[in-house]
Structure 1
Amino acid sequence: MDDLTTARLVLHPLSAGEAEQVLGGRADRSVRWADGYPAEGDLSAARRFLATCADSGDPRPFGTYGIRLREDGRTIGGVDFHGRPDEDGCVTIGYGLVPAAHGNGYASEALRALLAFARTQGVGSVLGDTDVGNVASRRVMAAAGMRLTAETEQLAFYRIDWEDAI
């Protein structure tokens, strides 16, 4: 599977071997990680990806992607699908960046790219959630076209739908 590229980023689909490296905390010599990578969210995504691989096979392209800077190739975070689309064509996404990468628009750029890719793959809707108090993440989802659909004391739930899904 090919990388997804944006103006400043490369979204690299992780293989099972690369997900195991994330869990082990060590990349091979060809990959550079920013300080703070992998974070807990990256570890959780790698575990989920490997569990899916073991249970039902490699879910790519609906797997986990490392977010790399185009300028130097450093991995600064991750964005992922929480599995293949369900019977209604819906997927759930997640994303996160190392603290040093916050405030540069990278999360918005990565999320927009993943949403555009999902749409080309025939996905009809995408779900995401964040902590209620995570204002930056809420802004990222809203800026990418996702709308707030529900809120609990802890979480805010977002969704985007496309009527013209394949």
Structure 2
Amino acid sequence: MTDLVTERLVLYPISVAEAEQMVAGRPAAGTAWEPGFPTEGDVSVAKRFLARCSATGDPRPFGPYAIRRRSDHRVIGGVDFHSPPDEHGHVTIGYGVVPSAQGKGYASEALRALLSFARAGGVVSVKGDADHDNVASQRVMTTAGMLPVGEDERVAYFAVTWDSAAM
């Protein structure tokens, strides 16, 4: 698997062993976690990944990625595809960074890299959502190029769609 490298970050696909370490709350030898990682959301993603691997096999490259800062090599969060693309080329994403890394553009930078990877991999549409009161998350998606496409009483929905012939 190839890492996704940005100006300040490296996104790397997590392995089963790393997901197990996240669930246990202990980093693997040689891995540095920013204080606060893994968050409850990261643990939930790791559990979902482990269940998927057990049931249907490893979904990589359309699975979870850890976000590591290039400057200090610390894992500061994660970004993931909830599942591989469906038969129409659609995926749903999620992301998060620890509180000490928020407000620095890391989540938008990571999401842009994941969107670029998805498009290059034949994905036609990427969806995401954020609670109405989570303005920062909504800003992450719009900064990364996703557009608001609807809302319900609880969440705002975002998406980006590409013409499959334009790849």
**TM-score of the pair, normalised by structure 2:** 0.97
User: How many residue pairs are counted as aligned between the two chains?
Assistant: 166
1:99 partner amino acid? P
After TM superposition, where is structure 1 displaced by more than 3 Å over at least 4 residues in a row?
none
2:126 partner amino acid? V
Q: CA-to-partner distance for each residue in 1:9-63, whole Å, 9 max, x for gaps?
A: 0001001111010000001121000010000110111111111111110000001
- Within 5 A, what are the aligned runs for 1:92-103? 92-103=92-103
Alpha-carbon distance between aligned partners in 1 of 2:16 and 2:146, rounded to the nearest angstrom:
30
Alpha-carbon distance between aligned partners in 1 of 2:25 and 2:44, rounded to the nearest angstrom:
13
Structure 2 partner of 1:141:
141
Alpha-carbon distance between aligned partners in 1 of 2:101 and 2:55, rounded to the nearest angstrom:
34
Instruction: Could you tell me which runs of 5 or more consecutive residues in structure 2 were left unpaired when the two chains were aligned.
Output: none
Alpha-carbon distance between aligned partners in 2 of 1:81 and 1:66, rounded to the nearest angstrom:
12
Structure 1 partner of 2:28:
28
Structure 2 partner of 1:37:
37
Alpha-carbon distance between aligned partners in 2 of 1:46 and 1:87, rounded to the nearest angstrom:
24
Alpha-carbon distance between aligned partners in 1 of 2:91 and 2:6, rounded to the nearest angstrom:
21
Structure 2 partner of 1:132:
132
In the TM superposition, residue 164 of structure 1 has moved relative to its aligned partner by 2.7
Structure 2 partner of 1:86:
86
Q: Percent identity?
A: 60
**TM-score of the pair, normalised by structure 1:** 0.97
Alpha-carbon distance between aligned partners in 2 of 1:124 and 1:97, rounded to the nearest angstrom:
26
RMSD: 0.9
Alpha-carbon distance between aligned partners in 1 of 2:95 and 2:32, rounded to the nearest angstrom:
19
Alpha-carbon distance between aligned partners in 1 of 2:40 and 2:153, rounded to the nearest angstrom:
22
